[in-house]
Amino acid sequence: MQGRKVAIIGVGMTTFGEHWDRGFRDLVVEAGLRAIQDAKLTGEEISAGYVGTMASGALVGQEHAGALIADYMGLNPIPVTRVEGACASGSLALRQGVMAIASGLHDIVVVGGVEKMTDLDTAAVSEILGGAGDQEWELFMGATFPGLYAMMARRHMHEYGTTKEMLSAVSVKNHWNGARNKYAQFQKEITMEDAMTAKMVADPLGLMDCSPITDGAAAVILAPIEKAASYTKKPVEIVASEQASGTLALHSRKSLTSIEAAKIAGAKAYKTAGLTPKDIDVAEVHDCFTIAEIIATEDLGFFKPGESGPAALAGKTRFDAEIAINTSGGLKAAGHPVGATGIKQACEIAWQLRGEGEGTQVKDAKIGLTHNVGGSGATAVVHIYKQGW
């Protein structure tokens, strides 16, 4: 990554879940203040901010989110910019913050992600989220995101022999992790039977294969690595920040069993960091559906195509196994407030590399990765992190 080296010096989150008594601004301010306190800042040192939110206008009627957040966090008159890239909005905001520091434009930057989703019913939220796909050729024709990912799952099953048991193993593992995450929406373990017999949503995806509708916010503070020691004894360096784009509609893709944008972003990130998939100790990947985790771990090179499902079933993606995947519980158990997810992933990796992964701490974790996807894969962002001390 060209320019100055960038580090995370503070992280903060709200709990994820159904916050009936709290508003959009309440959530993002809580997360931001926690990150500022974690970095031991007063707030006056911050010179810019970026916030990821996918659909605040449609979900809660609030546009102009950057200005709102600057006001309520007491950051005026510094510039705070909203960033949108569907479910990858948080990671896109993080990438903007990284570039702002790396370029020398700013020294201390706050990056947040937020979504308030539970004020509307499921049907309304599903329609709003459907805008992350091809509105004309998918949403208008009745294709929901569970339906789109169900097609991807069926094709993966056809090509590689992936089974419902393998999908269920992903859910069981992520709920086990989520049960140990105090910020998670679902802090409860489930069994294989629970996952296998759950109500069908879009065949072969049942309720336990799908991430929930969630409220929540997360934030990180970024600084040049050479200044990070002034704020924390354990800075986490971001050694790669890469983004790629793909086709919006599934029907235009070469394959339904891989997300090309994620493969490209991942390959670029490994090259930038001078690392390989074998160097990664812990990864937070975008498991909006269980098949998404299986595809992600193949696209990122942790397993060959067709081998991720058997690996999940064999327990190779547990926090104490071959490659630790979604120690937070992932989107499935920790929750998926779409604009906040990418920042939540960064918080989890920072905690892991700082040795603060309560309940699911990966032994000797030194290098981590986050993989955040917008829609069904038209936007993909991959970051790689390492201990900066």
What's the Cα-to-Cα distance from 198 to each of 49, 140, 252, rounded to whole Å? Answer: 42, 28, 32
**Band of pLDDT at residue 43, cut at 50, 70 and 90:** confident
Read off the pLDDT of each residue in 100-124 and give the average, rounded to a whole number: 97
Strand order of the sheet with strand 282-284? 80-83, 48-52, 109-115, 216-224, 6-13, 236-245, 379-387, 367-374, 282-284, 324-325
- Output the pLDDT for position 2: 74
Residues 203, 323 contacting (CB under 8 angstroms) = no
Would you state the pLDDT for residue 273? 98
pLDDT of residue 60: 96
What are the tokens at 16? 């994820």
pLDDT for position 124: 95
Q: How far apart are CA 309 and CA 119, in angstroms?
A: 35
- Written as one letter, the residue type at 247 is T
More confident residue, 181 or 136: 181
Q: Distance (Å, rounded) from C-alpha 335 to C-alpha 281?
A: 23
What are phi and psi for residue 207, nearest 5 degrees?
-55, -35
Closest CA to 36 of 146, 126, 110: 110
Comparing 11-25, 132-146, 194-208, 366-380, the range with the smallest average pLDDT is 132-146
| CA 181 centroid distance within chain | 15
- pLDDT above 70 for 170: yes
List the domains of the chain with CATH numbers. 6-120+214-236 (3.40.47.10), 132-210+240-387 (3.40.47.10)
366 burial class (0-12, 13-18, 19+ CB within 10 angstroms)? middle
Tell me the C-alpha to C-alpha distance, in Å, between residue 37 and each of 10, 59, 185, 345, 358: 8, 29, 24, 19, 20
> Exposed, middle or buried, 72 (CB in 10 Å: 0-12/13-18/19+)?
middle
What per-residue confidence (pLDDT) applies to 142? 86
In contact, 248 and 254? CB cutoff 8 Å: no
pLDDT of residue 139: 85
In 3D space, the residue among 340, 350, 372 whose CA is nearest the CA of residue 243 turns out to be 372
**Could you give the CA distance from residue 379 to residue 382 in angstroms, rounded to a whole number?**
10
What residues are annotated to the active site?
A: 87, 336
Across residues 61-83, what is the average pLDDT? 96
Could you count the other beta carbons within 10 Å of the beta carbon of residue 146? 21
pTM over 0.95: yes
| Contacts with 28 (C-beta within 8 Å, 6 or more apart), sequence order | 51, 69, 72, 73, 112, 114, 217, 219
Continuous H helices in the chain: 24-38, 56-60, 65-72, 89-102, 122-130, 145-160, 164-178, 192-196, 225-228, 260-273, 290-299, 308-313, 330-334, 341-353
Residue with tokens 């796909």: 133
Please list the helix, strand and coil fractions of the chain in percent, rounded to the nearest 5, in that order. 40, 20, 40
pLDDT exceeds cutoff 90 at 358: no
Least confident range from 39-48, 131-140, 217-226: namely 131-140
Q: Which helix (H) or strand (E) holds 10?
A: strand 6-13
**Do β-strands 282-284 and 109-115 pair in parallel, antiparallel, or remain unpaired?**
unpaired
Give residue 140's pLDDT.
86
pLDDT of residue 1: 67
d(CA 32, CA 52): 13
